[in-house]
Chain A
Amino acid sequence: MPTLKEISGRPEILAPGHRMCAGCGAPVVVRQIMKALREDEHVVVGNATGCLEVSTTIYPFTSWRCSWIHNAFENAAATLSGVEAAYRSLKRQGKVKAEFKFIAFGGDGGTYDIGLQSLSGAMERGHKMVYVCYDNGAYMNTGIQRSSATPLGADTTTSPVGKVIPGKTRPRKDLTEIMAAHNIPYVAQVAPSHWNDLVTKVRKALDADGPAFINALAPCPRGWRYDSADTIEMCRLAVETCFWPLYEVVDGKVKVTVKPREKKPVRAFLEAQGRFKHLFEPQNERIIDEIQAIVDAKWANLLARSEQA
């Protein structure tokens, strides 16, 4: 288990000076993930279009202190799987000697929606790479449009609260389970509030013999509408309410890695955010119950599978 003192000595791969918003969750996730790398390891990063990609590479600047490859919205996994295949070939020919790791980053738009087919393909082909989805629950980069990761009831610009609908009318897609169904060696869900859990899981993902998928919660102060200082607090609430359970699936076996001491009602997570404000009006209270039911069912399911394993 790493200590903070230990990882603080490791190189800072994501340089400051990037133009993500103040208090953004994504660069915290990236920094913590990169701290799982050992000093002798090189890394190639592929980035799907999204906040992270456009804000860290504004010409003529880059925040990446590693090999970095740009591609389109839908093909981060496909691009990086190609790089990984080329690396394996060069290594076999003796043209590359150094050890490389491969990490793809995509937002929820580029992963849950647009990049799902290329991600599924890359995972099925068995490339030794880690795909990280930083899930902020909407297309934040273009102005908070709903994605399939947006939770039920959230107010976005394409699911606006008004007379007709009370925010998003569909529950979110469970991508972590979809990835687990690919029967790949390692799938995990993480949050930057639990850095130790995060770094340990990323290390396991990097060491896995085959593809690995990490789904990381990355709160967005603009889109979720909370004070920028509360980013880590939002993650903590998401974990404590079991809205975002921290678990891993290793070779098909589920393990819940963080069990909250006291499972808080999901209201605690919802009321902290402006995007759910309307749910607390009397006519919308039933949506909170619906969200609670979804969270409870998922948590019970995870615990049952975790105990079986």
Chain B
Amino acid sequence: MKSVTKPQAPGWKSIPMGGVITEPGNSEKYETGDWRTMRPVWSAKKCINCLLCWVSCPDAAIVAKDGKIVSFDYKHCKGCGICARECPPKVKAITMVNETEFEEQEG
């Protein structure tokens, strides 16, 4: 798996007064995807867009648009597996696959 580069903390001169963070939601730049050992692999074909995985994801790592699942955000997904567990048993559109399976393809 590729190593994730983390942005450098700002120097003290550029820190705003009171140390406030001026950019809301900038944790998005911090990639927690490298915590993952198991990757949820989603099948668009099997998916019925019930959105139960989306509503149960702790990391908002399942991207939905106009009421449909569009993609999985692997930069932030920590691989907890809730989505695969919550996917209705008759649908099974999400399978958890070990990250080592992707090592060769992705380097």
Residues of A within 8 A of B (CB): 4-9, 12, 14-28, 31-32, 56-66, 192, 195, 221, 227-233
Contact = CB atoms under 8 A, between A and B. Distances in A.
A227 B81 CA distance: 9
Please name the 8 residue pairs, one residue from A and one from B, whose CB atoms are nearest each other, closest first.
A229-B81, A5-B67, A23-B80, A17-B27, A15-B25, A22-B78, A16-B76, A65-B25
A23 B86 CA distance: 12
A209 to B, nearest CB: 29
B44 interface: no
Nearest to A55: B27
A65 B35 CA distance: 23
B99 interface: no
B55 A195 contact: yes
Given A17-B30, A17-B76, A59-B19, A12 B82 contact: no
Given A16-B27, A65-B24, A24 B58 contact: yes
Given A60-B10, A62-B21, 11 more contacts: A4-B55, A12-B60, A16-B61, A19-B30, A27-B58, A28-B56, A31-B58, A58-B27, A60-B9, A61-B29, A64-B25
Interface of B: 9-10, 15, 19, 21, 23-32, 35-36, 50-52, 54-61, 64, 66-67, 73, 75-76, 78-82, 84-86, 96
A151 to B, nearest CB: 22
B55 to A, nearest CB: 5
Nearest to A18: B27
A113 B21 CA distance: 30
B26 A62 contact: yes
Is chain B's binding surface mostly helix, strand, loop or mixed?
loop
Contacts of A15: 24-28, 60
27 contacts: A4-B50, A12-B60, A15-B27, A15-B28, A17-B28, A17-B32, A19-B30, A22-B58, A22-B80, A28-B57, A31-B60, A57-B21, A61-B21, A61-B27, A61-B29, A62-B25, A62-B27, A64-B24, A64-B25, A195-B56, A228-B81, A229-B96, A230-B85, A231-B80, A231-B82, A232-B56, A232-B82
A231 B82 CA distance: 7
Contacts of A22: 35-36, 58, 78-80
A26 B58 CA distance: 8
A216 to B, nearest CB: 13
B67 A8 contact: yes
A16 B32 contact: yes
Contacts of A8: 51, 54-55, 64, 67
Contacts of A31: 55, 57-58, 60
Contacts of B32: 16-19
A23 B10 contact: no
A23 B81 contact: yes
B29 A23 contact: no
A23 B24 contact: no
A192 B55 CA distance: 9
Given A24-B58, A28-B57, A232-B56, A63 B80 contact: no
